[in-house]
């Protein structure tokens, strides 16, 4: 299961009252950048302090913004490279 799916599952469980959310450490980060393999699309690189990094490629601008906001709401520190706005 990828990290973003785990985060979504944890958020759903929290909303249902089944458990508390796992808060990321202050060093868990993500970077939004233009996807070098797809013109006009974006990718998000997630780097947790524990475990492997994950790249979510081929995101349209609205999808990239939605995922960026989800990660920010979870406490991940974000950085935008390029023209990702």
- Give the domain range for residue 31: 27-85
In a domain, 37, yes or no: yes
Flag whether 2 is in a domain. no
Domain contains 1 = no
pLDDT by residue (tens digit) across 20-43? 445 555 568 888 999 999 888 999
Residue 62 has pLDDT above 80, yes or no: yes
The answer as to whether 13 is a domain residue is no
State how many domains the chain has.
Answer: 1
Angle in degrees, CA 57, 52, 48, rounded to 5: 90
pLDDT attached to residue 51: 80
Q: Is residue 47 part of a domain?
A: yes
Mean pLDDT of the chain: 76
11 is a domain residue: no
Helix (H, G, I), strand (E, B) or coil at 46: strand
Looking at the domain assignment, is residue 7 inside a domain?
no
User: Is the pLDDT at 85 greater than 50, yes or no?
Assistant: no
Distances (CA, A) of 53 to 13, 18, 19, 28, 72: 24, 27, 25, 10, 17
Q: Is residue 19 part of a domain?
A: no
Q: What is the DSSP letter of 19?
A: S
Whether the full predicted model's pTM is greater than 0.75, yes or no, is: no
**Cβ distance 82 to 33 under 8 Å?**
yes
């Amino acid at each position: 299961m990828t990290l973003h799916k785990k985060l979504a599952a944890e958020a759903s469980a929290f909303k249902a009252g089944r458990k508390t959310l796992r808060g990321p450490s202050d060093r868990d980060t993500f970077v939004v950048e233009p996807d070098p393999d797809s013109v006009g699309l974006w990718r998000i690189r997630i780097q947790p302090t524990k475990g492997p990094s994950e790249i979510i490629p081929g995101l349209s601008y609205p999808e990239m913004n939605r995922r960026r906001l989800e990660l920010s709401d979870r406490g991940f520190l974000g950085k935008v490279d390029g023209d990702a706005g």
